[in-house]
Chains A and B, each alone.
Chain A
Amino acid sequence: MLESRIIDALKEIVGAENVATETQDLLCYSYDATQMEFLPDVVVYPGNTEEISRVLMLANGESIPVFPRGAGSGFSGGSLAKGGGISLVTTRLNRILRIDQENLLAEVEPGVVTEHFQLEVEKLGLFYPPDPASLKFSTLGGNVSENAGGPRAVKYGVTRDFVMGLEVVLPTGEIIRTGGETYKGVVGYDLTRLLVGSEGTLGVVTKIIFKLLPYPEAKKTMLTTFDSIDGAARAVSTIIGNKIIPTTLEFMDYATLQCVDRRFNLGLPVEARAVLLIEVDGDRELIEKQAAKIHEVIKPLGLVEFKVAKDAAESEALWKVRRLVSPSLRDVNPDKYNEDIVVPRSKVPDVIRRIEQIQKKYDIPIVNFGHAGDGNIHVNIMIDKAVPGMEEKAHEAIAEVFRAALDLGGTMSGEHGVGLSKQPFIPLELSPTQIATMQAIKKALDPNNILNPGKMFPVG
């Protein structure tokens, strides 16, 4: 519990109506998409950079933990107030400040919802490609802090690749700007890159300058079905080996297809063992050629069906297969751990084989799908927490999945971040020196350890 003096001071900074202490309010800011729950002592909704700065100065002076929070859609518990403190919600900072059509950039506040921003720039014929599946509700501040990615990352990259500059309030309350409005710039350390993906541990992002692209003229969606997982995986490297970089290369394994089919009756060919959803975009003529070429080069790889969407409605119908994955999974088991390992593209078949072995060893259903084009696989370990011992088994299986990814030259997480969920596994991937280096940076910026403490690094 915070002293009433502190609550009063917070009210003085942001206005009484923007401070919440009722149990129901605290409860509603105690969770994110990980389903863990930690009650903050107070929820604060600041309205601008200065207010955030004053909140942090107060918190720093009084050693009160502050937990930045966007939409709370995170998959690793990054926004949760473990140990209590101030939940600092950025959703009132929700303005698109400007869209600069000459320099192809935009400046936004962190509370803007991703899709809202995309639709606004698209009205001007511009394009902001990062498309996490949560884009209808996640905030841009959350995207930057988790370095979110999505299906289009194969061709366009992740959030990081679009951040040109930031305004950030440091844990001590000082306000700095990093990067800027130019593509080039080599003066000093690249603090922008350091802050992107820092999970709200180094500063609170209050403004973001994003790079924009012209909106592609056209796109083409293809749903391709293979008689083996290997065929589908080889298709990925074959397409790219043929110098075609699709926008999207989404992959679904047999277990995933069975789940979706059971519920929604997709009518897939009986030989189907894996599906790749492929999308190309760009110049109208070019994508026609690319689609034809893709068909030609993947044909020998055990292709059993090749569907091309003729228009937007058909494209939507093909995407539906991918979108139905999430709702179908729970038919396998009520609970799931959703990991998002990454391996080099060419190692996708190997990692899938390793996961199959892990599945057999622990006798737990594992369903794999995801962004095969960049080697980012969503590994869904389906369990029933009510079954005694299953959760523990799942934890062991997860550790082995991580080890498999690391052995193959990959990483434990491509998008979801460390937060609380992956903390215990950090030493698998990072050496003590790497961790010490990061902690030194953290200490330099946050001497009193008040900003999102207890996250990311191994505890104890």
Chain B
Amino acid sequence: MDPLKHVEKELKKCVKCGACRAHCPAFAAWQREPAAARGKVALAQHLMKQDITLDDQTYLAMSKCLLCGSCVEKCPNEVPTDEIVIAAREALAQRRGLTTFHKAVGRVIRNRKLMNFGAFAAAILGPLFFRKVPATSGLRLRFPLPFVGGKRHIPQLAKKPFLNRHPEVIPGEPGKPRIVFFVGCMTNFVYTEVGEAALALFRHLGCTVIIPKDQQCCGLPGMSGGDLATVRELAEKNLAALEKYEADYIMTACATCGGALHKFYPLVVGKRNPELMARLKAIAEKTVDAAQLLQQLGLHPAETGAGEKLTITYHDPCHLRTRGITRQPRELLQGAPGVELTEMEGADKCCGLGGTFNVYHYDTSLKINAGKSEAILKTGAEAVVTGCPGCMMQLSDGLKQAGARTKVMHTLEILARKLH
């Protein structure tokens, strides 16, 4: 079946009013209609009608979307362009095959054995990793990436992945919530301190924290390339891992993983695999963002977050903002003694990472990010705080390129300052 059939109704909703031009970060960067949501919807409509010939240009046009959901949030007709773009990329992949890069991504995120952090980095961080990998390394041969950029600053990789550090079940007080922690690749391999902070905070609240060992990549990198077979495989494995334990909540500290579990699993995977829908929905309903849950469970940041004076500014990750989680992290941060929050201009604007977008369009991704760095620097804050490890990597890169020393931190790190 043509994947675009899954969004046939949605495609009709777009009346080409152009409102997305005001909100689409890709359009802001390119200033050309094919980059705007409206343009991509138009292309998808024609892809479905099969009245245009496919070539590399079609791929290129469809690749210009960060799946950030900014347009979806603001569209007067509620057109789900993110869902449409995923379907269009799937259709392109079916008709012409996956790109080399996305084949590589799929191979790695699907394979538990390959999923050590070297391979992870090669696939997900692609170009950034390759600066550290010698040109003779087999990794490079395995993942020939023609678009490796040389400028990128890459984060330090953790010595030991988060998932290997803790037992599967960390019991809390009886009667307190049982929480399954969906860790995500970035936290597992790069920002392990975010995982540690999450653990410390929920243990402080007396919760039982369960970290299923056989959890996988959420699959969003595959989804963003149109490799829905891989995403389905991962979703099924994750379902099994997450269902294994009786739990009150499934908690994520990564906005993107949260977005995948909460929104894209039912919306994209469920639509294509109706037999999984009920289970996907059950997982989606239980999925909460860490900051949201901490507030809900009554965390007092005054007890856990006290520390030296620190001026901060907060960046809204797209996949928290579009789920309405903007107030909670700010309120918690402001409650932490010593922390002083100054809002930046355009805190709600996308940082430009966009899953694998930054690999295809590194320069544009940087351009989007440059505006972000400028806004951060204008506040004079010592640290920029956010709720997504993906954004953290992108923000760090941008700030380093701008020659700034601003720290990049996760909300949970600030909230757990006293617990370390």
Contacts and interface: CB of A to CB of B under 8 A. Distances in A.
A420 to B, nearest CB: 14
Given A24-B34, A24-B52, A92-B31, A136 B57 contact: no
A131 interface: no
A28 B34 contact: yes
Interface in A1-57: 20, 22-25, 27-33, 35, 45
B43 A327 contact: no
Nearest to A334: B12
B16 A33 contact: yes
B170 interface: no
Interface string A139-158: 00000000000000000000
Interface stretch (B18-26, B120-128, B140-148): B18-26
A293 interface: no
B15 interface: yes
A324 to B, nearest CB: 9
Interface string A103-147: 000000000010100000000000000000010111000000000
Interface residues of B, number: 27
Interface residues of A, number: 29
A334 B77 CA distance: 11
B61 A24 contact: yes
Contacts of B38: 28
Contact of B16 (A23, A24, A25, A32): A32
Nearest to B20: A137
Contacts of B19: 134, 136-137
Contacts of A326: 76-77
A173 interface: no
A91 interface: yes
B402 to A, nearest CB: 24
Contacts of A25: 32-34
Contact of B18 (A45, A73, A327): A73
Contacts of B16: 31-33, 35, 72
B78 interface: yes
Contacts of B46: 27
A75 to B, nearest CB: 9
Nearest to A32: B16
B52 A35 contact: no
Nearest to A94: B31
B42 A31 contact: yes
Nearest to B53: A23
Given A24-B43, A334-B12, A91 B31 contact: yes
Given A23-B53, A24-B61, A91-B31, A73 B42 contact: no
B18 A28 contact: no
B33 A29 contact: yes
A284 interface: no
Contacts of A35: 15-16
A334 B15 CA distance: 10
Contacts of A330: 13, 77
B31 A28 contact: no
A32 B32 CA distance: 14
Contacts of B42: 27-28, 30-31
A326 B76 CA distance: 7
B39 interface: yes
A20 B16 CA distance: 20
Given A24-B58, A136-B22, A327-B76, A33 B52 contact: no
A73 B22 CA distance: 12
A168 interface: no
Contacts of B32: 20, 25, 28, 45
B34 to A, nearest CB: 4
B17 interface: yes
Nearest to A37: B42
Contact of B43 (A28, A92, A134, A137): A28
Contact of B15 (A33, A113, A136, A137): A33
B294 to A, nearest CB: 27
Contacts of A24: 34, 43, 52, 57-58, 61
Nearest to A69: B33
B83 to A, nearest CB: 18
Residue of A28, A29, A33, A330 ringed by the most chain B CB atoms within 10 A? A28
B57 A327 contact: no
Contacts of A23: 52-53, 57
Contacts of B12: 334
B21 A27 contact: no
Given A23-B53, A28-B36, A73-B21, 8 more contacts: A23-B52, A24-B58, A25-B32, A27-B42, A28-B38, A35-B15, A136-B22, A330-B77
10 smallest beta-carbon distances between A and B, as pairs: A136-B22, A28-B33, A28-B39, A73-B18, A137-B21, A24-B61, A28-B34, A137-B22, A22-B57, A33-B17
Interface of A: 20, 22-25, 27-33, 35, 45, 71-73, 91-92, 113, 115, 134, 136-138, 326-327, 330, 334
11 contacts: A24-B58, A25-B34, A27-B39, A28-B39, A28-B43, A33-B17, A35-B15, A92-B31, A134-B19, A137-B21, A334-B12
Interface of B: 12-13, 15-19, 21-22, 31-34, 36, 38-39, 42-43, 46, 52-53, 57-58, 61, 76-78
